[in-house]
């Protein structure tokens, strides 16, 4: 990386741009003592010299290998052999199985050797090597906590009966996770969910505590890598209710296919003669099963009553319809039609509580209101664009999914980001800010 900026070193924004990290991450590293700038300008701006950049490479490598803040500081104060011993002690905590520890030590040495061969790379180059070498055995970025992975989210257990829900950039379609991710999708899902959680909490209780950011991670007691910020949410732990609470306001997707067959459980209440994507006379509650893997299956309301009881089924239905009604009204004012969506609930202190993501482009169909014309598929801000591309390939909707071409990845990402902008009235925070 060529030196530029002020005569004494790089300013924080310049260093962020040159390395591919964010200003937020660099400020966090300063806050927790991992990377103190070597000086300050006359105006008070942080200044980083060449030694600071070298240390930055080391910080990022160690953090992505799973060391927490305290152990990373200790590792930076030791030599290579001492580093191996320190990380080995961390691996020892995972269990006493000798062969596992031997393979982990070999994996760590291989990763360090690969980094040393790079000389002094840029951070993105180094992360690429770390990912290539380390992925098969890399520990979690939250040491001591192994995630439970869903289709697109990772869940970490936190102290105090809390969870960290991480919205990754993985994308699923037709209940299959694609091998290619969608950049910034996780941030969009987390921030839109927070937008709705904050606006509906007075009517329907929810489990959100806070979106994880650089400036609140320490207060929340979360020692996470900076890459978690903005896409992760600290939530109270609940007992999930095993029902996907789907609400439909328009006749689209599988409901349209069911409607054409006349008599599916999801469309028995619908009057005849409606067109594709036409607004329904009233929103429908059309629940499905909640599958950890594979396909969710339609349920009748009687099925829900049999599964969770009459009273709880009624609460799920009423709260789902109320949330959709409010959300659809707010979104319409901001140029988005929410054609359908799904909610998930859990029990917390005896109360039916809203959990998981809420009215996002992943869990809903978002249509631009100014282009709405019933009678055919609609342009969208959600992953329907991706679904349409997948259908055009002739893929049989069974794993594995096909690799997504760059233009499909780019266009899908842009749709998610535009949905956030229209809905909240804000630009998605700049990763370099």
Q: Residue 59: which H helix or E strand, with range? A: helix 50-64
What's the CA gap between 15 and 158, in Å, rounded?
33
Q: Is the peptide bond before 382 cis (omega within 30 degrees of 0)?
A: no
The verdict on domain 140-433 having CATH code 3.40.228.10 is no
What's the CA gap between 337 and 280, in Å, rounded?
13
Contacts of 312 (CB under 8 A, 6+ apart): 241, 352
What's the CA gap between 100 and 105, in Å, rounded?
9
In this structure, are residues 206 and 354 in contact, taking their beta carbons and an 8 Å threshold?
Answer: yes
Report the helix count and the strand count for the chain, using DSSP H and E.
Answer: 14, 17
Strands (DSSP E) found in 251-350: 279-285, 288-289, 336-348
C-alpha closest to that of 216 among 228, 207, 206: 228
Q: Mean pLDDT, consecutive 10-residue segments, the chain of 433 residues?
A: 52 76 77 85 83 77 65 69 56 47 53 57 51 41 61 85 91 88 93 97 94 91 85 94 94 86 61 89 90 64 91 96 97 96 93 94 94 94 89 91 91 94 90 53
The DSSP output letter for 298 is B
Structure token pair of residue 295: 């396909």
What are φ and ψ of residue 289, in 5° steps?
Answer: -70, 160
- Please tell me the predicted confidence (pLDDT) of residue 136: 39
Strands (DSSP E) found in 237-392: 239-240, 243-250, 279-285, 288-289, 336-348, 351-355, 364-368
What's the CA gap between 324 and 343, in Å, rounded?
9
* DSSP secondary structure string for all residues of 174-190: TTEE-SS--TTHHHHHH
What's the CA gap between 219 and 145, in Å, rounded?
19
Q: What angle do CA 192, 198, 199 make, to 5 degrees?
A: 95
* DSSP secondary structure string for all residues of 368-429: EGGG--TTS----SSTHHHHHHHHHTT--S-SSPPPPPHHHHHHHHHHHHHHHHHHHSSPPP
Residue that has been written with the tokens 């342009």 in this structure: 379
What are φ and ψ of residue 194, in 5° steps?
Answer: -60, -40
What are φ and ψ of residue 186, in 5° steps?
Answer: -60, -40
What's the CA gap between 80 and 362, in Å, rounded?
44
What 3-state DSSP class applies to 397? coil
C-alpha closest to that of 299 among 331, 343, 265, 258: 265
The strands making up 46-48's β-sheet, listed across from edge to edge, are 10-11, 46-48, 39-40
Pairing status of strand 46-48 against strand 153-158 = unpaired
The DSSP output letter for 226 is G
Domain residue extents for the chain: 10-134, 140-433
What class does CATH assign to 10-134? mainly alpha
pTM value? 0.69
Judge if 10-134 and 140-433 fold alike in CATH terms: no
Structure token pair of residue 199: 């606006």
What's the CA gap between 425 and 191, in Å, rounded?
12
In this structure, are residues 38 and 9 in contact, taking their beta carbons and an 8 Å threshold?
Answer: yes
In total, the chain counts a number of residues equal to: 433
């Amino acid at each position: 990386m060529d030196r530029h900026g002020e005569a004494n070193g790089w300013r924080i924004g310049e260093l962020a741009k040159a390395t591919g990290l964010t200003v937020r991450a660099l400020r966090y590293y300063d806050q927790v003592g991992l990377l103190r700038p070597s000086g300050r300008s006359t105006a008070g701006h942080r200044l980083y010299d060449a030694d600071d950049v070298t240390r930055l490479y080391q910080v990022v490598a160690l953090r992505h290998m799973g060391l927490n803040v305290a152990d990373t500081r200790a590792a930076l104060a030791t030599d290579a052999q001492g580093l191996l011993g320190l990380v080995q002690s961390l691996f020892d905590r995972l269990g006493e199985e000798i062969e596992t520890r031997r393979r982990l030590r070999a994996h760590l040495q291989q990763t360090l050797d690969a980094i040393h061969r790079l000389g002094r790379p840029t951070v993105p180059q180094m992360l690429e090597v770390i990912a290539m070498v380390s992925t098969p055995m890399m520990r979690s970025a939250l040491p001591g906590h192994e995630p439970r992975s869903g289709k697109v989210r990772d869940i970490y257990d936190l102290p105090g009966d809390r969870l960290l829900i991480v919205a990754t950039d993985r994308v699923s379609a037709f209940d299959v996770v694609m091998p290619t991710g969608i950049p910034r999708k996780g941030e969009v899902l987390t921030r839109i969910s927070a937008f709705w959680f904050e606006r509906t909490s007075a009517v329907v209780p929810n489990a959100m505590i806070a979106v994880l950011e650089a400036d609140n991670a320490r207060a929340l007691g979360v020692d996470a890598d900076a890459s978690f910020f903005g896409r992760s949410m600290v939530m109270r732990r609940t007992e999930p209710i095993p029902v996907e609470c789907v609400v439909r306001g328009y006749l689209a997707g599988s409901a349209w296919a069911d409607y054409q067959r006349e008599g599916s459980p999801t469309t028995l209440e619908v009057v005849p003669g409606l067109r594709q994507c036409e607004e329904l006379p009233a929103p429908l509650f059309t629940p499905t099963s909640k599958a950890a893997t594979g396909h969710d299956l339609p349920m009748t309301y009687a099925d829900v009553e049999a599964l969770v009881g009459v009273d709880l089924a009624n609460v799920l239905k009423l709260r789902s319809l109320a949330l959709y009604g409010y959300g659809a009204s707010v979104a319409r004012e901001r140029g988005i039609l929410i054609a359908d969506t799904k909610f998930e609930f859990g029990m917390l202190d005896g109360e039916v509580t809203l959990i998981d993501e809420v009215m996002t482009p992943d869990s809903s169909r978002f249509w631009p209101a100014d282009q709405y014309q019933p009678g055919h598929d609609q342009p969208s801000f959600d992953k329907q664009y991706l679904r349409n591309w997948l259908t055009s390939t002739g893929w049989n909707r069974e794993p594995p999914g096909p690799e997504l071409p760059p233009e499909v990845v780019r266009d899908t990402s842009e749709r998610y980001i535009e949905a956030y902008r229209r809905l909240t009235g804000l630009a998605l925070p700049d990763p370099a800010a």
